[in-house]
Structure 1
Amino acid sequence: MPRREAPIVLTLDYGAELFHCDDMLTRRVLLKCLVAVPLAACAVRGIPSSARTTVIMVRHADRAGDDLNSIGLARAANLPEALAPYQLDAIYSPDIARNLQTAAPLSQATGLPVTVIHKEYAGSTMTHAHPDGTVIWIGNKGNLRTIWSELSAPGEAPQEYGEIGIVELQNGGVRQVTRLTVSP
């Protein structure tokens, strides 16, 4: 009797199963997988036109080297108060120490875990996961600009310490932008 391999399952970043195969790994199955991977990459790209997500974006707090300095720690501690009017559904960040340190007080205040995702297509990933929710991305200058562009938000992405950019996706592709600051 031939030995059966473990099932092959390919899922998208936001959990949708794209491909599932219980067959033994054969050339045909391997070929299906190799074709499905690029298709999966295309499937998660782009902001859903039906999304009504509010995406809050903030640069990590002030730093010295790789970690937050005393001003940054104070600014991170004040972030929950600055965002008190918003009911967050998720906190997202890349896997960078200063970003995670900035997110920690917000995570503690809201009881939400910090979800680490890859910065590539983060806007798409967040809007697919929370099409009618409110999420925050605690990022860096480059990925904030990239996500801002991915969301087709007008104006400039937040770049300075303490700047908060809030992009509300609305009907008809309209993007409402609000700006806040968080002090140290």
Structure 2
Amino acid sequence: MKHITRRSMLVLAGASLAACSRVSQLTGHSLAPNTRLIIYRHGDRDGEDLNALGMARSEAIAAALDGLPIDVIYSPGIQRNLDTAAPLAQARGMEITRADPATIGRRISRLSAGRSVVWVGNQGNIRDIWEALGLENPAPLEYGNLYIVTTDGAGTVIIERRQVDVD
């Protein structure tokens, strides 16, 4: 009886893994179920630094995300990205976790699995994330674009596009 139970458990475990793979293939993305990935490009800039509009948009992100849970805020160590993420981190009483932009496209699905995470980045690393996850175009590359990518328990993706504008 124990042998049958163990074998049944192995068969069920294998079926579970296969089902997870099919969900990912059917939905065409690689985000884990029950995940929220919030993607925002750094604020408008002049040269390397945020300009007045970029600073104002950065302040407005906290209000735009009010009511959404956030587990962690990721950003590369580029100052304009950190400056953009800072008002949200301050409003939430959180730290900004620096992540290597060169590998983030491959790592973000693992880092965000089952969590609600924010990525504040640049055009290049946002495009890498978008492509690595197999999400529909266009990626949020314009200033003020705020995309909230959510997967439900079945792995179905919902992409909410918001624009962060200031008066």
Report the TM-score, using the length of structure 2 for normalisation: 0.75
What is the aligned-residue RMSD (CA, Å)?
Answer: 1.9
Q: Is 1:111 paired with 2:84? A: no
Off by >4 Å, runs of 4+ in structure 1 = 47-51
Distance change (3 Å), C-alpha of 1:170 and 1:60: same
> Which residue of the other structure, out of 107, 118, 124, is the alignment partner of 1:136?
118
Q: Is the 8 A contact 1:95 1:117 kept in 2?
A: yes
Give 2:39's aligned amino acid: M
Q: Find the residue that maps to 1:180 and give its secondary structure.
A: strand
Q: In the aligned structure 2, how far is the partner of 1:49 from the partner of 1:134?
A: 12
Give 1:103's aligned amino acid: A
Deviation at residue 171 of structure 1 after TM alignment:
4.9
Give 2:47's aligned amino acid: G
Q: In the aligned structure 2, how far is the partner of 1:130 from the partner of 1:57?
A: 12
> Which residue of the other structure, out of 46, 66, 75, is the alignment partner of 1:84?
66
Q: Is 1:61 paired with 2:43? A: yes
Give 1:168's aligned amino acid: T
Give 2:118's aligned amino acid: I
Residue equivalent to 1:181: 163
| Offset from partner CA, 1:131-168 (integer Å, 9 cap, x none) | 21111100111111110111111121111111011111
Which of the two has greater helix per residue? Answer: 2
Q: Find the residue that maps to 1:106 and give its secondary structure.
A: helix
Q: In the aligned structure 1, how far is the partner of 2:94 from the partner of 2:108?
A: 15
Give 1:64's aligned amino acid: D
Q: Is the 8 A contact 2:32 2:109 kept in 1?
A: no
> Which residue of the other structure, out of 124, 130, 141, is the alignment partner of 1:159?
141
Q: Is the 8 A contact 1:152 1:175 kept in 2?
A: no
Aligned length: 138
Deviation at residue 124 of structure 1 after TM alignment:
4.5
Distance change (3 Å), C-alpha of 1:64 and 1:131: same
Worse overlay, 165-174 or 70-79:
165-174
Q: Is the 8 A contact 2:149 2:157 kept in 1?
A: yes
Deviation at residue 97 of structure 1 after TM alignment:
0.7
Deviation at residue 173 of structure 1 after TM alignment:
4.7
Q: Is the 8 A contact 1:58 1:162 kept in 2?
A: yes
Percent identical pairs in the alignment equals 39
Q: In the aligned structure 2, how far is the partner of 1:173 from the partner of 1:155?
A: 19
Q: In the aligned structure 2, how far is the partner of 1:111 from the partner of 1:49?
A: 26
Q: Which runs of 5+ in 2 are unaligned?
A: 1-28
Give 1:119's aligned amino acid: P
Q: Is the 8 A contact 1:48 1:128 kept in 2?
A: no
